[in-house]
Structure 1
Amino acid sequence: MNLSNNYWISNNAAIPLENRKILNEFLLSYKLANKAEATITKYKSILERFLSECTVPIEELTSDDVLKWFNEYSIDKKEKTLDLVLSSLSSFFKFCIAEEYLGQMVIKKRWRPKIPHSLPKYLTEQEYARVKIAAEKLSIRDRALVLFLFSSGCRRSEVVQLTIKDVNIDRRTAEVKGKGKKIRHVHFSEECALILKDYLSTRLLKSTDPLFLNKHGKPLQQNGIYLVISKLGKLAKLNQSLHPHSCRHTFATNMLSKGAGLPFIADELGHSNLNTTRIYARIPTEDVILAYQNIMG
């Protein structure tokens, strides 16, 4: 992500000046709270649209004003999109109330769509085996990247920030900067360590260099990781697309099936809230399915 731009500042001229000033105070509060750039950018986009289309001064805003805008916005939108919009507006209005720009909450809980909790998309044992076989056809860099993603559970946004000094190959650990710039230590497999060592031996190294480079010798970006993993899914002839986050979900389900506790998995994944990790406990692992079949037939 490009941290040089002022992504937390809105210059949208369609927003009345006083409302834009309050919006920028809100966005700055998120920046100072070390919220992820992606989060701030998404909230900014949603709030800019709302405040440019609903131009009532914030101190005069009513539930009717918000509902009128929301009903118009909702046409042909997915429930998850609507839920995100309401969450963004709610966070903004809570800030406005705390700063005394608004007297009361102008969003009603009943407006929230009911969204079924879908299970994370992960690879089964057989699919994972096919992916690992297919990965052997990739370049040494791509093999190292794939093994690192599957055995560390890192987000691709975390991998692109890694430098060589962040990784201890002998101890098979890496110091990762996660959401909110929180530092955590993750682990990776012995196989990953061997391939990673081979990959790094092909490069002239400085400790501050990125762990993974693209073919032009520049830092590998998130889109580059996406392309590698997507290509791997096609090589493995999977029935569904393979995405970088599937590697993270597969890591978590593999850990769970091997007996790891949810608090340990949460630490490895960088979840600050254990409830985020609990969704993996709802996934029927191979062992659970086998036990069921043995008992029930």
Structure 2
Amino acid sequence: MRPGKSNTTAINREGNPVTIHEWEIHHEAIHPTNREAVNQFLLTKYLANRSLLTLDHYRRHLQKFLIDCPKLLVEITADDVIGWIQIHYGDKKETTRNNRLTVLTSFFAFCADEGYIQHVPVKPWWRAKLPKPVPRYLDETELAKVRLAAETLWLRNRLIIEFFLSSGVRIFELVNLRNDDVDVAQRTARIIGKGKKFRWVHFSETCALLLEAYRNIRPQGDPELFLNATGKKLTTRGVHYIVSDLGKQAGLTRNLSPHALRHSFATQLLNKGADLGFISEELGHGNLNTTRIYANLPKEELAAMYDRYMG
């Protein structure tokens, strides 16, 4: 999380400057005591180096709940919580309901620890037990279509696609790359991942050639690597558009996302016999168990791998 992106300065009633964080809640419909609790909770997430996107996710859903349920926190019951979930998310997917319950559980657990409430009004059995999803990745045919379509893209956009496919970086890691983070000669890039953790990733020779060509045409002196048409830092929304449009151009039957490219990178490594520990390092996973989801390949993939390595 880079400085200057999460707060502004205002003047309080006494005429003194105060810091207002973007992720704080200031809605007047929420009781001041409740606002204090939720902003303290969001502060703990901020200090734990959660991304601004994550903070905004918590802020939006907690604000909605506290406006819809205007009671003091100490008066909120389990019936209030499950009633709110059923009214607003009863017809939604189980993953959506689970997500909202996770947000509320985390917040109320914090409130209980800090003495705002005595009991957490969210029951663990409300969460639906869902099977672990198999990552959505491109199969060999889809990948060939994407690579072919990418060859017609503008240089910067083609570079972005190749960087995703050959390094497996997350979208926010890509847009936050700076020019001096990248070593073309060594084909490595210094990434700031989740929790401000640094790691080095590798990229392909094709990616290195595209990088050199792109550096020759981009405005000189700007520290950010990927710039938009106006010379400003490229946003995650802009990258989503680039990737989604490429999927349509390639004739894919489903939406193409940056995360699908990341999954495709990991799946290709696994198909080629790479160790899960190595894949975990490349992806920047803090826990090897996170990487194990890539071992849950469809049976036809496993059969193909057996034929390749065992004959």
- Same fold per TM (> 0.5)? yes
1:209-228 equivalences under 5 Å are 209-228=223-242
2:256 to 226, 242, 245: 242
One-letter code aligned to 2:89: S
| Contact 1:150/1:250 (<8 A) preserved | yes
1:157-176 equivalences under 5 Å are 157-176=172-191
Q: Which runs of 5+ in 1 are unaligned?
A: none
Q: Structure 1 residue 174: deviation in Å?
A: 0.8
Counterpart of 2:17 in structure 1 is none
**Residues 62, 4 of structure 1: alpha-carbon distance in 2 compared, 3 angstrom cutoff:** closer
1:230 to 239, 244, 259: 244
One-letter code aligned to 2:47: L
Counterpart of 2:18 in structure 1 is none
SS in 2 for 1:119: coil
**Residues 59, 287 of structure 1: alpha-carbon distance in 2 compared, 3 angstrom cutoff:** closer
One-letter code aligned to 1:49: K
Distance in 2 of aligned mates of 1:188 and 1:67: 48
Counterpart of 1:179 in structure 2 is 194
1:284 aligns with 2:287: no
Worse-superposed segment, 117-126 or 280-289: 280-289
SS in 2 for 1:86: helix
Distance in 2 of aligned mates of 1:290 and 1:263: 22
Worse-superposed segment, 127-136 or 18-27: 127-136
Tell me the C-alpha RMSD between the 2 structures: 2.0
2:61 to 46, 63, 67: 46
Distance in 2 of aligned mates of 1:90 and 1:31: 18
| Contact 2:108/2:120 (<8 A) preserved | yes
Q: Structure 1 residue 79: deviation in Å?
A: 1.2
Q: Structure 1 residue 236: deviation in Å?
A: 1.8
One-letter code aligned to 2:57: K
Counterpart of 2:12 in structure 1 is none
Worse-superposed segment, 71-80 or 216-225: 71-80
Q: Structure 1 residue 102: deviation in Å?
A: 1.7
Distance in 1 of aligned mates of 2:305 and 2:103: 43
Distance in 2 of aligned mates of 1:174 and 1:244: 18
Q: Structure 1 residue 273: deviation in Å?
A: 2.2
Counterpart of 2:286 in structure 1 is 272
Worse-superposed segment, 45-54 or 63-72: 63-72
| Contact 1:156/1:244 (<8 A) preserved | yes
2:138 to 123, 139, 142: 123
Distance in 1 of aligned mates of 2:119 and 2:183: 52
Distance in 1 of aligned mates of 2:270 and 2:163: 18
Aligned residues: 293
| Contact 1:123/1:250 (<8 A) preserved | yes
SS in 2 for 1:241: coil
1:31-180 equivalences under 5 Å are 31-180=46-195
| Contact 1:257/1:285 (<8 A) preserved | no
SS in 2 for 1:201: helix
The percent identity for this pair of structures is 45
One-letter code aligned to 1:3: S
Q: Structure 1 residue 204: deviation in Å?
A: 4.2
2:220 to 185, 205, 227: 205
Q: Structure 1 residue 287: deviation in Å?
A: 5.5
Distance in 1 of aligned mates of 2:177 and 2:228: 14
Distance in 2 of aligned mates of 1:240 and 1:293: 29
One-letter code aligned to 1:255: L
SS in 1 for 2:217: coil
Q: Which runs of 5+ in 2 are unaligned?
A: 9-20
One-letter code aligned to 2:280: A
Residues 42-100 of structure 1, C-alpha deviations (whole Å, 9 max, x = no match): 11111111111222222233323322333323332221111011000110111111112
1:262 aligns with 2:276: yes
